[in-house]
Amino acid sequence: MTILATVLVAFVAFEHFYFLVLEMFLWTTPKAIKAFGIESTDFAEKTKVLAANQGLYNGFLAAGLVFGVLFNNTNMIVFLLSCIIVAGIYGAYSTKKIKLFYFQSVPAILALVSVLFFF
């Protein structure tokens, strides 16, 4: 992979490790409540187990991308970036928050394009 592709994939992996931290460990903090637009601390408290599970999945995506870069496994990277793109599109659609698309899907789209066209 080119340096550009590697940097973009690494950025997407970093984003998902960050999501893991927010969702698994910081869900009920003001930082996560603001980042995710959670309606109240009570709601955050009631949903923290679900958020932690979601955070774990984001961690798996990040770990898979890191593994793909370290072992030059382009097929794995393409698959995981595609999953992230779809998840971002669905998340933006289902929550009616377009910001989710920009934060999750757009970086993954840029990374995917760089992997496919500059490999």
CB 69 within 8 A of CB 1: yes
Tokens standing for residue 40: 């109240």
Predicted pLDDT of residue 118: 83
pLDDT in tens, 45-91: 999 999 999 999 999 999 999 999 999 999 999 999 999 999 999 99
Between the alpha carbon of residue 6 and those of residues 22, 27, 45, 65, the distances in Å are 24, 30, 37, 10
What was the pLDDT predicted at 119?
A: 67
The DSSP code sequence of 74-116 is HHHHHHHHHHHHHHHHHHHHHHT-HHHIIIIIHHHHHHHHHHH
Would you tell me how many other CB atoms lie within 10 Å of the CB of residue 76? 15
Condensed to tens digits (0 to 9), the pLDDT of residues 11-51 reads 999 999 999 999 999 999 999 999 999 999 999 999 999 99
| Closest by Cα among 31, 30, 25 to 48 | 25
